[in-house]
């Protein structure tokens, strides 16, 4: 019914438009011209032509093509015309009555070198945009993520890495804050890694990488912030696109983007459905030691078969109260049903290699996730350029239910139900002072309530280690900030201070224990910029950050991956505090653009996951059990450098690469007791976590235009080996390949994408427990989250061209998470 109704409306719209065009053909004129760079005389593709009817105030327009040309047909009327392009000064023409075809000639736009708000790399299609406190990477024409997910998009962003379990790291650190449209969001959900794998890449417009956040942003995330900006159509009239993907292993996806904009109202929507399988595998060889000699051997071979099916929908309405203010309401829903079936073949051997026993552990797990987000935004520009007040309210609700049947020597059932409700209130005020200064102040209140119910039913379960529990977790954060910035000739500065008042309540209903944590912190920020000339600039940033322990990190009850591998939380965890420094340099040499930076971070009370040993009775036998839990270590120092380069030798060849090298040093020790369950003797163990290690990762990307208008893209990635106090991880290489071809008069695009061409994205780790110096067990583990994938994607656009969809952010009223000084 819905599909038929949509098809009927589209047909009705097309017929009425065609009729009106034929009726008014005699009253139609054409406005045309060409836009070029005043400095290089090169044509500017995707420049925006804005045409406003002075009587009706209706806005229309278009964008330039590959050669900078534009041609727009309109009824005869009195029009005011302006031409804009990101990082260039706009040009406006006086209003005039246009009754015949109008040739605006060659329009030359000059770079906006005196812009206060941003320092911009003018790269191909604005792939990289650098401001005082953020870097923006536009998803744009990245073919290698077509038919993929948000996790795939982040894994392609320079400075960012996504490991096999979906954990996202920035510059080698997993202490990164992920926001959606500038705010915490139910779209990330209770399990961020799984949620990112459910959000389709087609819904994402760009990713902001903020390594030196200003005071406007939350202080959460010691490595920085990743802000995912979702697509919101802005083009005038009714337009949209349909996207379909098929792939192997099983990957079926469909997405629809619809937008309707009139003089007063803009309605935008995104709908997507995906059904995919993700086979993977895990192999572990474990050696148990006693006084340095081999006591026993154990192998584990796991095969995963994950099935994921989910729907997401985003509908928003923006109402323009007048030329300076608007109200926007958005509703987002996400629902997924996942099944994971895994088999673990376990074999145990004596020191001579003789088989002692074999067993099979089968886990059949079902998971259902539901998220709802409602957002309301009011924006008022006060008729002055840059003078702005925005007020936001956001409601998030997430519901996650997991159940698993586990078959080995015993039958075990476990289930987890988590419900989270968040309310967010925010207000931001921006006041320009004179021609170059700016003052900001604001408030954000984030109020989270979470309940978790974990149930385990198993025979012969030791009541001392029964992991079943009920948890209530509340976290309220009230934040206030102010910042001031100015530009004096070539020097820019932005100084800010943020105060955050945190209240955390933990209620362990199972044991009737209650814990309260209260702390007030201040977070200064400094961002400086100096433009040597049009092609060179320096930035220097400082910020104080923190990492609050999540609810799962604070829950002391156990979660069993197997009989001998257990993870648990630590209710005594404190926040991690980090001081971050970042020095950046930008230079352009003709067709080559280089952006490099040196960074240093010092953290105290650093939260790390450690492995320790316990002895328990399993199947009437003393067994060494590996327990993994988070603790606070004394300190960590992290330093490194990175550079990103773009080189476009011609219009048909575009090359880019990035390299990140980092070193981290941890200091601290951990003392715990091991109790023998048979003799009740207690042994005290002290682990030394002093460690120093270096690692690196690099990317290379090439886009080449082939004959027959075929686009070819290759992306290579290598993550260098790395070590910490308890493990060594080998390097990982992977390659992605994609081809695209525009069809149907550029209204359609076909993309063939191969992810992990050589099936080499496998993580090999050697782990030592409890310590590297005196291990009692050594395990060699090989983990592959997913195998090579091949997919075919088709996109069809109606009432818009290809570039219009990919370059919405160039529209003059772009709302991408807020302007930054």
| Dist CA 335 CA 235 (whole Å) | 29
Q: Is the pLDDT of residue 149 over 50?
A: yes
The pLDDT assigned to 10 comes to: 43
Cβ-contact 580, 545 below 8 angstroms? yes
Q: Is the pLDDT of residue 665 over 70?
A: yes
DSSP state letter for 121 = -
The pLDDT assigned to 709 comes to: 87
The percent of residues above 90 in pLDDT, for the chain, comes to 32
Rg (CA), the chain: 28
DSSP state letter for 184 = -
**Least confident stretch, 111-115, 313-317, 551-555, 721-725:** 111-115
pLDDT in tens, 728-773: 999 999 999 999 998 988 888 899 999 999 999 888 999 887 777 7
Q: Where are the alpha helices (DSSP H) in 459-582?
A: 551-554
Q: How confident is the model at residue 603 (pLDDT cuts 50, 70, 90)?
A: very high
What average pLDDT does the segment 330-354 reach?
A: 90
> Distance of alpha carbon 605 from its chain centroid, rounded?
26
| Dist CA 283 CA 298 (whole Å) | 11
The pLDDT assigned to 186 comes to: 57
| Dist CA 294 CA 178 (whole Å) | 44
| Dist CA 356 CA 459 (whole Å) | 23
The pLDDT assigned to 246 comes to: 95
Q: Is the pLDDT of residue 137 over 80?
A: no
808 phi, psi to nearest 5 deg: -55, -30
Q: How confident is the model at residue 319 (pLDDT cuts 50, 70, 90)?
A: very high
Q: Is the pLDDT of residue 779 over 70?
A: yes
Q: How confident is the model at residue 813 (pLDDT cuts 50, 70, 90)?
A: very low
The pLDDT assigned to 198 comes to: 67
Length of the chain: 821
Q: Is the pLDDT of residue 207 over 50?
A: yes
Q: Comparing 793 with 121, which gets the higher pLDDT?
A: 793
What average pLDDT does the segment 395-424 reach?
A: 86
Q: How confident is the model at residue 147 (pLDDT cuts 50, 70, 90)?
A: low
Q: Is the pLDDT of residue 163 over 50?
A: yes
For the residues of 734-758, what is the DSSP string, one character each? EEEEEEEEEETTTTEEEEEEEESTT
Q: Is the pLDDT of residue 232 over 80?
A: no
Structural tokens at position 603: 């953290």
Q: Is the pLDDT of residue 821 over 60?
A: no
Cis amide prior to 770 (ω within 30 degrees): yes
| Dist CA 360 CA 742 (whole Å) | 51
Q: What angle do CA 489, 495, 496 make, to 5 degrees?
A: 155
Q: Is the pLDDT of residue 115 over 70?
A: no
Q: Is the pLDDT of residue 263 over 50?
A: yes
| Dist CA 97 CA 54 (whole Å) | 10
Domains observed in the chain: 2-109 (2.60.40.10), 237-810 (2.40.170.20)
Cis amide prior to 16 (ω within 30 degrees): no
DSSP state letter for 549 = P
What average pLDDT does the segment 552-560 reach?
A: 83
The pLDDT assigned to 815 comes to: 37
* 92 beta partners: 82
Rank 24-38, 436-450, 650-664, 687-701 by mean pLDDT and report only the highest. Answer: 436-450
Q: Is 144 helix (H, G, I), strand (E, B) or coil?
A: helix
**Least confident stretch, 269-273, 609-613, 654-658, 697-701:** 609-613
| Dist CA 305 CA 672 (whole Å) | 37
- Cβ atoms within 10 Å, residue 355: 10
The percent of residues above 70 in pLDDT, for the chain, comes to 86
Q: Report how far apart the first and last C-alpha atoms of the chain are (Å, whole number).
A: 48
Nearest to 493 by CA among 441, 433, 442, 437: 437
- Cβ atoms within 10 Å, residue 172: 23
Q: Is the pLDDT of residue 57 over 80?
A: no
Cβ-contact 433, 440 below 8 angstroms? no
Q: Is the pLDDT of residue 15 over 80?
A: no
pTM: 0.76
pLDDT in tens, 451-487: 999 888 877 666 777 778 899 999 999 999 999 999 9
Cβ-contact 584, 538 below 8 angstroms? yes
Structural tokens at position 348: 């145990």
pLDDT in tens, 438-452: 999 999 999 999 999
pLDDT in tens, 360-407: 888 888 989 999 999 999 999 886 677 899 999 999 999 988 888 888
């Amino acid at each position: 019914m819905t599909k038929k109704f949509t098809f009927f409306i589209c047909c009705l719209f097309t017929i009425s438009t065609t009729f009106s065009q034929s009726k008014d053909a005699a009253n139609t004129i054409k406005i045309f011209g060409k836009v070029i760079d005043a400095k290089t005389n090169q044509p500017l593709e995707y420049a925006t032509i804005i045409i406003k009817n002075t009587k009706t105030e209706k806005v229309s327009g278009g964008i330039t093509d590959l050669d900078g040309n534009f041609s727009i047909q309109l009824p005869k009327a009195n029009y005011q015309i302006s031409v804009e392009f990101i990082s260039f000064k706009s040009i406006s023409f006086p209003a005039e009555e246009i009754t015949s075809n109008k040739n605006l000639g060659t329009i030359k736009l000059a770079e906006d070198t005196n812009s206060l708000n941003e320092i911009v790399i003018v790269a191909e299609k604005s792939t990289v945009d650098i401001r005082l406190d953020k870097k923006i990477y536009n998803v744009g024409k990245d073919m290698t993520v077509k038919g993929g997910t948000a996790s795939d998009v982040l894994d392609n962003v320079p400075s960012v890495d996504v490991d096999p379990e979906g954990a996202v790291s920035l510059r080698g650190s997993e202490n990164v804050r992920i926001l959606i449209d500038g705010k915490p969001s139910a779209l990330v959900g209770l399990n961020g890694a799984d949620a990112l794998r459910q959000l389709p890449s087609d819904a994402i417009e760009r990713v902001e990488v903020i390594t030196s956040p200003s005071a406007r942003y939350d202080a959460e995330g010691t490595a920085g912030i990743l802000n995912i900006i979702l697509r919101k159509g802005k083009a005038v009239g009714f337009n949209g696109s349909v996207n379909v993907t098929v792939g192997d292993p099983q990957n079926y996806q469909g997405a629809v983007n619809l937008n309707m904009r009139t003089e007063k109202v803009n309605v935008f929507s995104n709908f997507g459905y995906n059904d995919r399988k993700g086979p993977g595998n895990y192999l572990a060889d474990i050696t148990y030691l006693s006084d340095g000699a081999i006591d026993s051997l154990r192998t584990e071979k796991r095969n995963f078969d994950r099935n994921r099916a989910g729907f997401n929908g985003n509908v928003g309405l923006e109402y323009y109260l007048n030329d300076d203010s608007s109200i926007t309401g958005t509703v987002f829903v996400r629902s997924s049903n996942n099944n994971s079936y895994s088999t673990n073949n376990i074999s145990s051997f004596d020191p001579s290699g003789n088989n002692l026993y074999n067993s099979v552990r089968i886990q059949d797990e079902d998971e259902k996730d539901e998220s709802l987000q409602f957002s309301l935004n009011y924006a008022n520009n006060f008729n002055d350029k840059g003078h702005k007040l925005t007020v936001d309210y956001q409601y998030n609700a997430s519901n996650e239910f997991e159940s698993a049947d586990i078959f080995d020597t015993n039958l075990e059932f476990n289930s987890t139900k988590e419900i989270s409700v968040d309310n967010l209130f925010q207000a931001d005020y921006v006041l320009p002072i004179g021609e170059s200064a700016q003052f900001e102040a604001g408030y954000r209140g984030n109020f989270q309530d979470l309940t978790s119910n974990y149930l385990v039913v198993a025979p012969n379960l030791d009541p001392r280690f029964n992991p079943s529990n009920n948890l209530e977790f509340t976290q309220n954060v009230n934040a206030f900030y102010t910042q001031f910035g100015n530009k004096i000739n070539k020097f820019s500065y932005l100084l800010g201070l943020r105060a955050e008042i945190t209240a955390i309540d933990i209620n362990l209903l199972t044991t009737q224990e209650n814990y309260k944590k209260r702390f007030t912190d201040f977070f200064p920020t400094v961002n400086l910029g100096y433009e040597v000339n049009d092609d060179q600039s320096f930035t220097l940033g400082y910020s104080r950050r923190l990492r609050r322990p999540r609810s799962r990190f604070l829950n002391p009850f156990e979660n069993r991956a197997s009989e001998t591998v257990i993870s648990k939380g630590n209710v005594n965890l404190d926040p991690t505090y980090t001081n971050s420094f970042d020095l950046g340099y930008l230079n352009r040499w003709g067709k080559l653009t280089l952006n490099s930076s040196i960074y240093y971070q010092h953290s105290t009370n650093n939260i790390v996951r450690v492995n320790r040993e316990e002895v328990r009775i399993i199947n009437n036998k003393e067994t060494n059990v590996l327990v993994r839990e988070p603790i606070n270590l004394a300190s960590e120092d992290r330093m490194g450098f990175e550079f990103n380069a773009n080189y476009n030798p011609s219009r048909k060849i575009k090359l880019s690469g990035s390299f990140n090298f980092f070193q981290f040093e941890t200091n601290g020790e951990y003392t715990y007791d091991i109790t023998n369950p048979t003799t009740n003797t207690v042994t005290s163990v002290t682990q030394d976590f002093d460690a120093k290690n270096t690692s690196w990762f690099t990317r290379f990307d090439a886009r080449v235009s082939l004959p027959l208008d075929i686009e070819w893209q290759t992306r290579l990635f290598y993550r260098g080996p790395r070590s910490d106090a308890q493990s060594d991880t080998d390097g990982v290489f992977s390659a992605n390949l994609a081809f695209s071809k525009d069809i149907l008069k550029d209204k359609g695009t076909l993309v063939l994408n191969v992810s992990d061409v050589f099936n080499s994205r496998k993580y090999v780790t050697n782990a030592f427990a409890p310590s590297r110096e005196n291990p009692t067990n050594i395990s060699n583990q090989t983990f592959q989250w997913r195998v090579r994938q091949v997919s075919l994607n088709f996109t069809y656009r109606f009432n818009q061209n290809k570039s219009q969809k990919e370059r919405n952010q160039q529209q003059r009223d772009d709302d991408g998470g807020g302007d930054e000084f």
